[in-house]
């Protein structure tokens, strides 16, 4: 039974921040995917296969970009286009055309420009999938249900109004979710991605799709993706990340300087 890796990126660039993937490493990942015969698909497509229950096709991958940084347009898009690849970008709709200084952003996080609506439209017209990532990027389990619903619905509506895409998929800010948040998202979206480390399998849950942060992805990883050893590696990384979040309880949400200097963003 085939599985699908969903690789999560943020920005592409050389800066020494876990938000960034260096262009050369990104390029090498694409080259390895292409050489191995992989094709990119949308998450909506993956959700369709998941619900049909007939398994996934071989050599399928999803590339996802959280937050909609402008380097997705300038650095990622041309490289993907050269291979005939497309990707999914999750937009924080209240901040499109601005930067990532949404409430709760740690002061030490780099200030980065975000895609404008014109750029998001160009990506959509090139076959990219646009997903909703709320309007203001709050940790959803910490806000009330009415606000959760507004964040989901308004971000979807903005994408629909500005680009014509339905924004069927959702990404939880910081990967933070609970049963109540999931239930609200399920009323409005076809599926949602988490920050749980893993591959999407036939047993995957549509509102908890596992992903692999680019921080843990090496260009040559694709050769090992179906192996038991790689699945064990992902389980280990997932456990370690969850343990670290227990230790650094507030680093994700409050902007506390206790956030580790390195490690993946969310």
Q: How far is the CB of 231 from Zn ion (least distance, A)?
A: 26
DSSP structure string for 184-221: HHHHH-SEEEEEEES-B-TT--TTSEEEEEGGG--GGG
Q: How far is the CB of 175 from Zn ion (least distance, A)?
A: 9
Q: Compare residues 66 and 151 and give the one whose CB is closer to Zn ion.
A: 66
Q: How far is the CB of 65 from Zn ion (least distance, A)?
A: 10
Binding site for Zn ion (CB under 5 A): 66-67, 173
Q: Compare residues 66 and 213 and give the one whose CB is closer to Zn ion.
A: 66
Q: How far is the CB of 194 from Zn ion (least distance, A)?
A: 12
Q: Compare residues 38 and 172 and give the one whose CB is closer to Zn ion.
A: 172
Q: Compare residues 49 and 211 and give the one whose CB is closer to Zn ion.
A: 211
Q: Compare residues 28 and 109 and give the one whose CB is closer to Zn ion.
A: 109
Q: How far is the CB of 266 from Zn ion (least distance, A)?
A: 7
Q: How far is the CB of 206 from Zn ion (least distance, A)?
A: 20
Q: How far is the CB of 173 from Zn ion (least distance, A)?
A: 5
- The tokens for 115 are 């895609």
Using alpha carbons, select from 236, 193, 182, 209 the residue that is nearest to residue 66: 193
Q: Compare residues 139 and 173 and give the one whose CB is closer to Zn ion.
A: 173
Cα distance between residue 191 and residue 207, in whole Å? 5
Q: Compare residues 12 and 222 and give the one whose CB is closer to Zn ion.
A: 12
Given a contact cutoff of 8 angstroms between Cβ atoms, the answer to whether 181 and 188 are in contact is no
The Cβ of residue 38 has, within 10 Å, a number of other Cβ atoms equal to 19
- The tokens for 196 are 């749980």
């Amino acid at each position: 039974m085939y599985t699908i890796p969903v690789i999560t990126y943020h920005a592409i660039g050389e800066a020494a921040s876990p938000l960034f993937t260096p262009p050369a490493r990104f390029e090498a990942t694409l080259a390895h995917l292409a050489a191995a015969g992989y094709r990119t698909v949308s998450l909506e497509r993956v959700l369709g296969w998941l619900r049909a229950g007939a398994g996934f096709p071989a050599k399928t991958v999803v590339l996802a970009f959280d937050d909609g940084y402008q380097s997705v347009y300038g650095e990622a898009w041309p490289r993907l286009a050269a291979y005939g690849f497309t990707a999914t970008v999750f937009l924080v709709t209240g901040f499109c055309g601005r930067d990532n200084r949404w409430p709760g952003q740690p002061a030490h996080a780099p200030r980065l420009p975000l895609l404008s609506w014109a750029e998001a439209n160009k990506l959509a017209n090139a076959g990219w999938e646009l997903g909703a990532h709320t309007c203001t990027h709050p940790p959803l389990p910490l806000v009330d249900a009415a606000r959760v619903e507004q964040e989901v619905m308004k971000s979807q509506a903005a994408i629909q109004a500005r680009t014509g895409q339905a924004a069927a998929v959702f990404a939880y800010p910081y990967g933070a979710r609970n049963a109540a948040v999931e239930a609200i998202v399920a009323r409005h979206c076809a599926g949602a991605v988490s920050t749980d480390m893993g591959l999407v399998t036939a047993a995957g849950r549509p509102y908890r799709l596992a992903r692999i942060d680019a921080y843990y992805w090496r260009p040559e990883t694709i050769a090992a993706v179906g192996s038991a050893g790689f699945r064990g590696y992902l389980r280990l990384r997932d456990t370690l990340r969850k343990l670290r979040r227990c230790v650094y309880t507030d680093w994700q949400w409050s902007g506390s300087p206790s956030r580790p200097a390195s490690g993946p963003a969310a």
